[in-house]
C-alpha cells in the first residue's frame, strides 16, 4: 500500500468479472496470493454472490472475507437508472436498487455499482430519471453505511455527465465510480474527470485496452489507457476512499488471457506508477 501526505493508504482490489463463476474461497486465495486488499463482487445470478442469496449464505460470505482479511469493496449490479421505464419497470429498478443496497450492507461492502443506461434518450429526461431514482434509494444506502455509485459508462461515460446527475441528487448516499476506459472513450482528460467527480468520487476502476476499436482487456500497462495521467490527476493516489480496482472484463472477452497470472504484475505496475515499487 501507498500512503499519501494526508495519511490515506492506496489499496488495490480486483473485480470478479475477471474470474467469472469462481467460488469465493478461490477468489480470496487469489487476492491473498497477489497482494490485493479488496474485491469487487459482480452481483449477478450466474455468480456465487448475488441478491437472491439467503441470509445464512450472506453471513458465510462475510465471514470468509473477514477471516481472509480481504474487504468486499463493492457489489457490482446492473440497474440502469437513466433508462426509460414504464410503471412496471419503474418498480423493478427500485426493487433492484434496494436489493443491492441490502446485499452490500449484509456483506459489509461500502459501495454498490449501477449504470446509467440512458441509451439515445434526450439527456434532460435521462438525467432527471437517474437523479430521481438515485435520490429515492440514497437515504436507505446511507442508513446502511453504503453508497450507490453511478459508473461513468454507456450513455453517460464522462465525469461531466455523471457529475450533472449527482449534483441533482445532492445526497451523500449516492456517488460516482470512475471507469477510466469510458471517460477516455468519451474524450475526457483525466484531470477534467477528476475535477467533475471530486465531490462524489467513491473509487476508480482501472483497466487497459489496445485501442478505442479493440477493447479486449490487456494487462495493465500493455495498452493505451493513460493510467499514469489518472493517478497524477488523483494526486498520485486513489479515490478519496483509497481504492483502485482493476476491472478485467474476461466475462465479455473469453479469448482474453486468464486474469490470475496477471494480478500480481498488475498490482506491481500500479505501484510503480505510484512510485512505491522498484522498476523491474
pLDDT, residue 2, reads 41
> pLDDT band at 239, cuts 50/70/90?
low
- Residues above pLDDT 70, as percent of the chain: 93
Q: Which one is the CATH code of 2-274: 3.30.70.100, 3.20.20.150, 1.20.140.10, 3.20.20.70?
A: 3.20.20.150
2-3 vs 9-15, strand pairing mode: antiparallel
CA 202 to chain centroid, in Å, comes to 8
Phi/psi class of residue 59: alpha, beta or left (left: φ > 0; alpha: ψ in -120 to 50)?
Answer: alpha
pLDDT, residue 4, reads 38
pLDDT, residue 240, reads 67
Task: Locate the domains of the chain by residue range.
Answer: 2-274
Of the given ranges (3-17, 31-45, 196-210), which has the lowest mean pLDDT?
Answer: 3-17
Do 147 and 135 touch, CB atoms closer than 8 A? no
Which cell is 33 given?
Answer: 496470493
pLDDT, residue 277, reads 57
Of the given ranges (8-17, 74-83, 135-144, 177-186), which has the lowest mean pLDDT?
Answer: 8-17
pLDDT, residue 237, reads 56
Residue 223 pLDDT > 50: yes
- To 10 degrees, what angle do helices 159-169 and 123-143 make? 60
- Residues above pLDDT 90, as percent of the chain: 91
Report the alpha-carbon distance of residue 264 to residue 135 in Å, rounded: 39
Surface-to-core class of residue 190, CB atoms within 10 Å of its CB (0-12 exposed, 13-18 middle, 19+ buried)? buried
Q: Report if pTM > 0.85.
A: yes
Which cell is 87 given?
Answer: 410503471
User: Which residues lie closer than 8 Å to 67 by C-beta, 6 or more apart?
Assistant: none
Amino acid at each position: 500500500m501507498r500512503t499519501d501526505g494526508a495519511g490515506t493508504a492506496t489499496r488495490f482490489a480486483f473485480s470478479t468479472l475477471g474470474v467469472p463463476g469462481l467460488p469465493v474461497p478461490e477468489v480470496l486465495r487469489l487476492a491473498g496470493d497477489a497482494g490485493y486488499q479488496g474485491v469487487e463482487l459482480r452481483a449477478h445470478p450466474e455468480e456465487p454472490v448475488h441478491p437472491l442469496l439467503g441470509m445464512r449464505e450472506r453471513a458465510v460470505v462475510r465471514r470468509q472475507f473477514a477471516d481472509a482479511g480481504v474487504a468486499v469493496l463493492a457489489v457490482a449490479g446492473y440497474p440502469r437508472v437513466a433508462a426509460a421505464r414504464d410503471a412496471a419497470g419503474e418498480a423493478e429498478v427500485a426493487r433492484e436498487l434496494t436489493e443491492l443496497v441490502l446485499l452490500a450492507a449484509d456483506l459489509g461492502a461500502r459501495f454498490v455499482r449501477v449504470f446509467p443506461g440512458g441509451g439515445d434518450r434526450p439527456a434532460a429526461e435521462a438525467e432527471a430519471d437517474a437523479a430521481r431514482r438515485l435520490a429515492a434509494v440514497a437515504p436507505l444506502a446511507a442508513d446502511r453505511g453504503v453508497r450507490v455509485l453511478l459508473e461513468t459508462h454507456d450513455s453517460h461515460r464522462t465525469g461531466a455527465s455523471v457529475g450533472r446527475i449527482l449534483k441533482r441528487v445532492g445526497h451523500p448516499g449516492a456517488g460516482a465510480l470512475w471507469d477510466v476506459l469510458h471517460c477516455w472513450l468519451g474524450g475526457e482528460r483525466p484531470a477534467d474527470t477528476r475535477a467533475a467527480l471530486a465531490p462524489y468520487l467513491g473509487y476508480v476502476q482501472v483497466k487497459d485496452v489496445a485501442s478505442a476499436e479493440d477493447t479486449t482487456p490487456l494487462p495493465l500497462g500493455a495498452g493505451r489507457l493513460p493510467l499514469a495521467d489518472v493517478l497524477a490527476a488523483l494526486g498520485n493516489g486513489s479515490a478519496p476512499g483509497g481504492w483502485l480496482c482493476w476491472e478485467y472484463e474476461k466475462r465479455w472477452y473469453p479469448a482474453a488471457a486468464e486474469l490470475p497470472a496477471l494480478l500480481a504484475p498488475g498490482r506491481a505496475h500500479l505501484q510503480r506508477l505510484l512510485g512505491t515499487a522498484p522498476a523491474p
